A and B are shown apart, each in its own frame.
Chain A
Amino acid sequence: ETGVTQTPRHLVMGMTNKKSLKCEQHLGHNAMYWYKQSAKKPLELMFVYSLEERVENNSVPSRFSPECPNSSHLFLHLHTLQPEDSALYLCASSQSPYRVGNQPQHFGDGTRLSIL
């Protein structure tokens, strides 16, 4: 039990489908993150939210749309994805991203996404 729960664990979708990934943290943290982990590549930061406000967007294509309705929940809405978007999508949380760098991030186990 990591304190960060992601659903679904696996998702297969066509390029024209619309789906959403969900992340929930039970740690009382104020910052949440989306990362992408492609095969044989390091984790890449996609989005950062602090107190439900987006503070970082690492040039992610608009077919990925994040939403943070409150400090415990984070969504990643997907539409018109490409085969190269197949990857493990990881959610993480931390106390706050703006403090000094002594705050660990806590990760969920990810959603394995496959685009047909």
Chain B
Amino acid sequence: DAKTTQPNSMESNEEEPVHLPCNHSTISGTDYIHWYRQLPSQGPEYVIHGLTSNVNNRMASLAIAEDRKSSTLILHRATLRDAAVYYCILNGGGADGLTFGKGTHLIIQP
């Protein structure tokens, strides 16, 4: 799986939107962009994924740049329970599993 680059940490206030960026300049045409998050003492949790078009679900929105070299995970209204490490991962299928980086540690201030 191709490499992604994310900020080490970000801080936001409760009830405000959060935009988590991810760069993936070497993405291939068949790579899907996945986001997972890991809360303390839990396993990673799937958040959202997309290929070319922006995606929305009950947890978040995913905005994908037109050239697909970057994407942004959007939490529309952060709560304290959204404090976690967020991972941006490229998934091209196959039997390689997922390649996790260090992710972004999101801190939510009350």
Contacts and interface: CB of A to CB of B under 8 A. Distances in A.
B32 A101 contact: yes
A106 B92 CA distance: 17
Contacts, number: 77
A86 to B, nearest CB: 16
Q: At the interface, is chain B mostly helix, strand, loop or mixed?
A: loop
A110 B43 CA distance: 6
B65 interface: no
Interface string B61-99: 000000000000000000000000000001111111111
In the complex, which range does the number of interface residues on chain A fall in?
Answer: 20 to 34
A23 to B, nearest CB: 11
Interface of B: 30-32, 34, 41-46, 49, 51, 90-103
Interface of A: 2, 4, 6, 33, 35, 42-43, 45, 48, 50, 55-56, 90, 92, 97-110
